[in-house]
Every structure is written in C-alpha cells, then in structure tokens.
Amino acid sequence: MTAPAHLQQQGLDGLTERAASAVYDLTTRGALGKFTEAASRVGFCQRPIRLAGRAMTVDTRTGEATSQYSSADAPLGVLLTRCGNRRESVCTSCSRVYARDTFEMIRCGLEGGKGVPERVAENPLAFVTVTAPSFGPVHSTRGGRTCHPRGNTTCPHGRSLSCTKTHLKDDPAVGSPICPDCYDYLGHVVWQYHAPELWRRAIQDVSRQLAARLGVPVSKVSKVVSRQYGRTAEMQARGAVHFHALFRLDGPLDEGIGAACGVGVDVMVDAIEAAFSRAQVQAPPTFEHDQSRVLRWGEQIDIRVVREGSRTDDPDAPITGEQVAAYLAKYSTKDTSLAVPDGAHVHRIKQTCAEVHEAAIRRAESRRAGEEVAVPVDSEGRDHYVLIGKWAKELGYRGHYSSKSRCYSVTYRTLRRRRARFQQVMQEETERAQRAGKPVDLAAVEEALLSQEDESETSVVIGVWEFVGVGWTNQGEVEIATAAAARAREYAQLRAGKQ
C-alpha cells in the first residue's frame, strides 16, 4: 500500500507500508494531529513511557498552587516521556540526546559553561586510553599491515598461528581469535566483569601518586590539587571494553570546580601512568578447580597532553579538546552488538558468561544446603559471579558507558532539567507567537528561562503518576516516529548548513 495522495502532499510519502497504514488509521480516527503533537513533544522517541496522573507546582513561600497539569489534557490523554535509552538500536532519537549530553558534559569540563566556571579552561588536561590485556592473538587490521605473520608455527590444536592477510576494517574476522581453542575466554570475561573495580582502584591511586610526587600526605592532597575526569567506555572488535578519559588537574578541592592549579601537566601525566600500570584486582576463582587471577590493564597506556595548563590550547598538541569531546560522545552510544561482529567469537564470550553464572548458582545452592564450597564469597556472603549472567549481553561488562568524577563537569541530570525547561518555554513562546501571527521572540524566551531559574528555588512540583505502559500502540506508529525523527534531523542539518 502506498500512502494516500493527501498524505503525499503532507510530505509523508516514502513511509514504510506499516507506517503508511498507521497514518491512514490515525487519520480516519481523526487522531493524526494529536499523535504528531505528542510524538514531537518527546522528540519522536521510538518507545516513550506512558504515564497517567496529575502534577501541581506549589509556591513554597505562599503555599499556593501556581500551575496544574493533568495527563488528561495531553494530546493523547497520557503523558509521554522519552525512553532515554543510550543505545542507537533501541531509540535513535534518545541515543542522539545522550550523545549530545555526553558531548556537553565533556565539553563543559574542558572549557566551562552550563554552570561550570570558565576557569576550568586554564587547568592541565590529558587524554588517556587504557585497554584490556591480551587473551590470545586475534585477527587485526594492524593499520593496513599484515595481520599475524608467524611462518609455519602451529598451536597445540594443529591450527596455523600465522595469518598473512591484510584485513579491512569491516572484515568480520577482525577481533576474532586466530585459534578459538587457545583463546582465554574465561580470562576475558573475568577481566571484563571486574573492569569497573580495576578502573576505580586506578583512579584512587592517581590521588595517592599525586600526593607522593607533591610530597604531601594522601589525606591532604585535595588541599593542593584534585584530579577530575570524564570517561567513556567503548567495546573493541575483540569484545573487550576499553576506556577513554579526559583528566583535568584542578587546584584545592574546597576552592570549587576548576580552582587555579599551580602544578604542571607533567606531574599529572606521571601520576596517571604510575597508577594505571600498578593497578590490580585479585579476582576469585570461577570454578572449584579454577585459580584466582590478578587482573591488570593492558600494557599500552596511552596518555596525550591536551593542554599544558596555559590559557589557550597548545597549538602543537596532537589533539584539541573539542575533538576529544566529539570522539567520546560518538562512542558513548555505540552498541555492543554493533561494535563487535556477531559471530562465533561473541557467541563464545556470552556462553562463557552463562557457564560461569550457572556454576555460581549451583554453588549458592550447595552453600544453602550447608555443603562445603571451596570458592570464596564476597563481603555480603554472596557468590562473586552470581550476577554475571545478567551482563552476558554486554559480554560481562557491568559498568557505565560514561561517567565522571564529582567535580569534573555538569551532571546529566542538570543537562536534562535545562533541556526540559528550554523545551517548555520554547513551546509556550511558539504558541504565543503563532496566536499573534509574529515570529518567536528570542529575548522573551531568554527572559522566561532566567525568571524560571529563580522560580525553581521557591517552588516545588508535587505529582501523582501511574505507569501505563511503554512504547507506541503498534509497529506502524514506531516507524512514523522513526521517520519523523530522521526528517527532523535532516532539517536541523540543513538549517545548520545554511547558517
């Protein structure tokens, strides 16, 4: 079925069959306008959360209700909120918002803005990449060189250890082991499962290393300097996570974010290098006859100076802060499933997670039955690996894909609040302008935003909400939202290009 002629006129041609039939259905019910309005309010999110209920804004000085809102007044009779999912495959619209927020979070930590003082731009900055160690040789692009030339050597499984191909980036072989039976799958998932703890320990040690270099006790180091960071995790083709982080060295912590720092970037680089090469986690055994493992970072700890600590960016620096922020934001939304080719390698990583999980469940049962179990439990008496099955989809990684230290930059929550406030004010001003037949008054928008910022301190929002469901009514509606989101993006790009 193609879209009816009147829909083509509205620019809705080129829709999928299911979307066109949903448009047709909404049109015949007289609900297309309401649907479009509701969908546009959530930025054409693909699986919005539906809520029913009421909210009221109360002035805390007078106790008076200043405004009221009921979901019954919303276009579709329910309040829709964005799903907020990070993954591009789940929601293109929300994943872009997440990428933008990550970019803003990183950028504000670089140069200030959105409540972060501009003086942060004067402090030393370094870009750090740390990876997982090797769990066995894998096919690799090696920057256009030969993959793994090893002559006639064979492994105990009789496989050749040599690969003389030159792999292109999108070759599905990239990242998969040269011999899957030699590859240490157990070591891989155990490392990945403990990677967040390894990160935490390295970070803590950076402060210790700074203290040692500055000749102050660890307990006093924050009175001199504080290391702040914004970090993202990225899944490599071999299915191992690696981390990129921007480290900034601020002055005394009690002087606030971005306090002037009298220490050079070299001291920070040195401290980071020492901390990450020393960091280790003792991982308990996964099976009865397994050994415990000492987990460390891969040998290559890449540290690049972005800024020496002068006012302007170093013109000779290999990378600029802006590039770093864009780079980090891009990777924060990448799906594990998209970054790692779906094949035998990924299957085996997931299967290993499942096996470790099942063994942990069996041990937990044995302990409950009062039997002696050789594998230790954690401080709360739980088996260390009882949750690994839950993270099999993420190949055993249970950490966040982006995070930051407390005083690095603005929080995601603040960014979300600011955006919601901006959208609300913009919508009100647009409606007012439309009624008056005038263009939107940007000065009025600005003023409303400022006055609301004051207001939020003297008012509270009280709401009673009930969860109705997730997603649109049918797949056709999902596809309309997806198509509309794509159009909105194209339009925004077009507009940006014209400026």
**Taking the complex as a whole, how short is the minimal distance between the CB of residue 250 and Zn ion, in angstroms?**
35
Least gap, CB of 175 to Zn ion (angstroms): 10
Quote the least distance from Cβ 163 to Zn ion, whole Å.
3
Which residues contribute to the site for Zn ion (CB under 5 A)?
Answer: 45, 82-83, 91, 94, 139, 147, 155, 157, 163, 165, 179, 181-182
Please answer whether residues 91 and 107 qualify as being in contact, where contact means their C-beta atoms are separated by less than 8 angstroms: no
Q: Report in angstroms how near the CB of residue 145 gets to Zn ion at its nearest.
A: 11
| 49/105 with CB nearer Zn ion | 49
* Residue with smaller CB distance to Zn ion, 157 or 413: 157
Residue 203: closest CA among 109, 266, 86, 281:
281
Q: Which is nearer to Zn ion, 157 or 438 (CB)?
A: 157
Residue number, 23 or 94, with CB nearest to Zn ion: 94
The label of the residue with tokens 């260390």 reads: 384
Smallest distance from the beta carbon of 424 to Zn ion, in angstroms?
A: 18
Helix (H) or strand (E) holding 195: helix 185-214
Distance of CA 162 to the CA centre of its chain: 37
Neighbours of 282 (CB within 10 A): 9
362, amino acid identity: R
Our CB check for Zn ion shows the closer of 139 and 238 to be 139
Max CA separation in the chain (angstroms): 85
Long-range contact list for 259-264, CB < 8 A, 24+ apart? 259/119, 259/226, 260/119, 260/122, 260/123, 261/122, 261/123, 261/124, 261/225, 261/309, 263/124, 263/214, 263/224, 263/225, 264/124, 264/308, 264/309
Q: How far apart, in whole angstroms, are the C-alpha atoms of residue 133 and residue 187?
A: 10
- From the CB of 482, what's the least distance to Zn ion, in Å? 10
Q: Are 189 and 205 in contact (CB under 8 A)?
A: no
Measured CA to CA, the distance from residue 137 to residue 183 in angstroms comes to 7
Shortest Å, Cβ 283 to Zn ion: 24
How far is residue 193 from each of residues 181, 189, 352, 458, measured CA to CA in Å?
Answer: 21, 6, 12, 45
Residue 495 C-beta: closest distance to Zn ion, Å: 23
Cα–Cα distances (Å) from 94 to 325, 423, 485, in that order, read: 19, 15, 10
Measured torsion, CA atoms of residues 8, 11, 17, 21, in degrees rounded to the nearest 10? -70
- Identify whether the C-beta of residue 237 lies closer than 8 Å to the C-beta of residue 215: no
Residue 141 CB, shortest distance to Zn ion, in Å, is 9
Nearer to Zn ion, 166 or 204 (CB): 166
Nearer to Zn ion, 157 or 495 (CB): 157
Judged by CB, which is closer to Zn ion: 138, or 410? Answer: 138
Taking the least distance from each CB to Zn ion, the nearer of 87 and 201 is 87
Cβ pair 462, 58 in contact under 8 A: yes
C-beta of 63 vs 156, nearer to Zn ion = 156
For the bound state, the minimum distance from the C-beta of residue 450 to Zn ion, rounded and expressed in Å, comes to 29
